[in-house]
A and B are shown apart, each in its own frame.
Chain A
Amino acid sequence: MSTFWRNHRHWIAPTLFIMPGALLFGVVIILASAETIWVSFFDWDGVGEKQWVGLANYVQLLDDPQFHVSLKNNLIWLAMFMLAPPLGLALALLLNQPVRGMRVVKSLFFVPLVLASVTVGVVFTWVYDPTFGLLSLIFGYFGATAPALLSDEHLVTFAVVVAALWPQVAFCLVLFLAGLNNLSEDLIGAGRVDGARGWPMLIHVILPQLREVSFIALAVTVIGALRSFDMVAVMTSGGPFGSSTVLAYQMYEQSIFSYRFGYGAAIATVLFVIMAAFIAWYLRTLLKPEREGI
C-alpha cells in the first residue's frame, strides 16, 4: 500500500485536492447552467411533468412585447453603463494627488462599491420620491415640479441605471487609481520634456499605459450592465406596467411568479448567449498571457 501511495501520490494528491472545488463548481454552476438550456425546450410549471415543445418557447419570445421591452432596456443599461469607465477615470485623475487626507477621501469615494445593491436601491428610491425626495426638493427650489421618475414608463429605466452607475463608477475609480499608480515615471518625464501636457499628454502618453486597466473596467462594466437584476427588483419590480424589466428580471418573474419555467429558461438562455460573446472575448484576453506564460 505504502509503495503504491509513494509511486502514485504525484497525481493522486493533486486529484484529491482539486476534486471538492471542481465537483461543486461543476455540478452547481456549470451543469446547472447547461440544464437550463435543456429546460428551455420544455413547457414546465416547475412541479408537474415536463412537456417537450422544441423551439416553441423561443418562437413565442419573438412575438412577446415584454421581451422586446426587456431587450431594449438591456441595451439602455449597456449604453448608459459605458459612462462608468470615463467617469471613473475622470474622478481618478482628480483624486490622484499627494495631498494630506487624500487616503480618507479616496476611501469615502469607494464606499458605494461595498454597499449592497438593495441598499443602493433603497437610497435612490428616496432620492427619486416625488413628494419628499431630494430631486423634488431641488426642482421645488427652482419652482418646478419634479417628475415622478419611478412611475414614468419612459424615464424609469434611466433613473434606475443612474442609481446603478453610482457603485459602478466607484468600481472603475478603484481600477483607474490602481492603474495611475503603476504609470512609468520615465515615460511621463519624457513626455513632459517633449512639452506634452493637457489632452495630448493624457491621450498619447497616459492612456496607452492604462490599456489593460481600461480593458478590465470596460469588460466588468459590460458584464455588470447585462447582469442587472437587483436594482430593478428593488426599485421598480419591473414596473410601471413592465416598462423597466430587463431580461434577468423578466426571467425571474416568468419562472417564480408565473410558473412558466420553460419560458423563463428560454429567456435566461438568450441572456446567456448575449453574455457568452462578451465572456469569451474577456476570457481570451485575460487568459492569453497565462497561456504564453506556462
Chain B
Amino acid sequence: MYPRPLAEDAPIRRFAYASMVVLILSLWLVPLMAVMATSLRSFEEVMAGNYWGWPKSFNFIENYTAVFTQTAMARYFLNSLIVTLPSVVGVLVLSTLTGYVLSRYRFRGANLMFALFVGGNFLPAQIMMIPVRDLMVSIGLYDTYYALIVFHVAFQTGFATLFMRNFIAALPDELFQAARAEGASPWQTLWHVVLPLIRPALAALAILTFTFVWNDFFWAIVLTQSDAVKPVTAGLNNLRGEWVSAWNLVAAATILVAIPPVVMFFLMQRHFIAGLTVGAVKG
C-alpha cells in the first residue's frame, strides 16, 4: 500500500493524522455547511447578517415549507424528476443495444461509429445548441419535457455506449459461443445471456446518468422557458434573482437541488465510483 500505512503503535502520529484530515475536510466543506446552516436560519437572523455562524434558532420546518409553498420550487423539483427518470431509462435501453452490437459484432465502420459516440460526448454543448433548439422549435417540442428528454437521451447515449460496450466486451467469450451453439438468436442472447450479467453496469450507469441529467443547467435554460417545465437547476438560478435578500430560503432551495444526487451517491457509492473510473470520460 502507498503511502505506507501509519504504524498501529504510534497513537500520537495517528491522532495528528486524524486531526489534520478532519481539519482539511472541514475547510473543504465549509461553504456547503454554511449553506446548510443558513437554510435553518430565521429571516431576522439573515437580515442581521449572520451567515456563517451557528444558527441562533432552527427553522427547518418553516423554511423548507416556505420554499415549497411560496416559491415554484416544488414544481421545478417535479419537473426535474419527470425529465430525469425517463431519460435514465431511455439511455439504459439504447446503450445496452448499441454497446452489445459494438462489442460483439464486427462490421465495416464499427470503429468510426464507436469513435463518434465517444468523441461526440466531449463536444462543447454550444456547438449543437442552435440546430438542436431549432429542431425542437420546429417539431413543436420546445419548452416541453420531451425536448429535454430527447436531448438528454441522445447525448448521454454517447458516454453510455462507451460504458456498456467496454463492459459487455469484457464478458467471457465462451458464453456467446455456447449461446450460438444452442442456436440462440441475437435477441435471445441479449435477453438471457447479456442482460443478467450486466446488472451492476446498469446500476452504475443509471446513477451516473441520473446525476448528469439532474445537474444539467445549459439545456435547461436553452430548451425551456416556462415554470411549468423548468428543471430545478434553472429554477434555482431564477429564484436567486427573485428572492435576493431571503438567503435562508434560497439556501434551503439550494440544499433541495443537491439532495437527490447526493443521496443517490451515498446509497450507491461503489457503483458511482466504479462507473466514473471505468468510463472516466466525463467533464
Contact = CB atoms under 8 A, between A and B. Distances in A.
Given A22-B113, A287-B118, 7 more contacts: A13-B185, A25-B120, A27-B154, A96-B1, A134-B30, A252-B126, A275-B124
Interface stretch (B57-65, B171-179, B197-205, B275-283): B275-283
B32 A116 contact: no
A174 B277 contact: yes
B178 to A, nearest CB: 17
Nearest to B263: A114
A99 B122 contact: no
Given A122-B240, A229-B218, A271-B124, A131 B49 contact: yes
B269 interface: yes
A115 B261 contact: yes
B273 interface: yes
B261 A116 contact: yes
A220 B280 contact: yes
Interface of B: 1-6, 14, 17-18, 20-21, 24-25, 28-32, 34-35, 38, 49, 51-52, 94-95, 97-98, 100-102, 104-107, 111, 113-120, 122-132, 134-135, 150-151, 153-155, 157-158, 161, 169, 185-187, 190, 211, 214-215, 217-218, 221-222, 232-234, 236-237, 240, 247, 250, 254, 257-258, 261-262, 264-266, 269, 272-273, 276-277, 280-283
Contact of A21 (B28, B97, B214): B97
Nearest to B278: A178
14 contacts: A17-B100, A18-B102, A25-B117, A28-B151, A46-B130, A96-B2, A99-B6, A110-B269, A126-B31, A134-B31, A185-B1, A227-B125, A229-B125, A287-B114
Q: Which of A20, A25, A97, A124 has the most CB of B within 10 A?
A: A25
B247 A29 contact: no
B118 A29 contact: no
A180 B113 CA distance: 33
Given A25-B154, A99-B14, A252-B126, A116 B186 contact: no
Q: Which of A26, A32, A39, A166 has the most CB of B within 10 A?
A: A32
Say what secondary structure dominates the interface of chain A. helix
Given A123-B32, A248-B126, A17 B131 contact: no
Interface string A119-158: 1001110110101111001000000000000000000000
B217 A116 contact: yes
Contact size range, A: 35 or more
Contacts of B233: 116, 118
Nearest to A221: B283
Nearest to A129: B51
A227 B283 contact: yes
A27 B17 CA distance: 54
Contacts of A67: none
Nearest to A261: B130
B97 A20 contact: yes
Contact of B115 (A25, A118, A206, A287): A287
B106 A294 contact: yes
A110 B265 contact: yes
A107 interface: yes
A265 B118 CA distance: 23
A33 to B, nearest CB: 5
A183 B2 contact: yes
Nearest to B165: A290
Contacts of B258: 114-116, 119
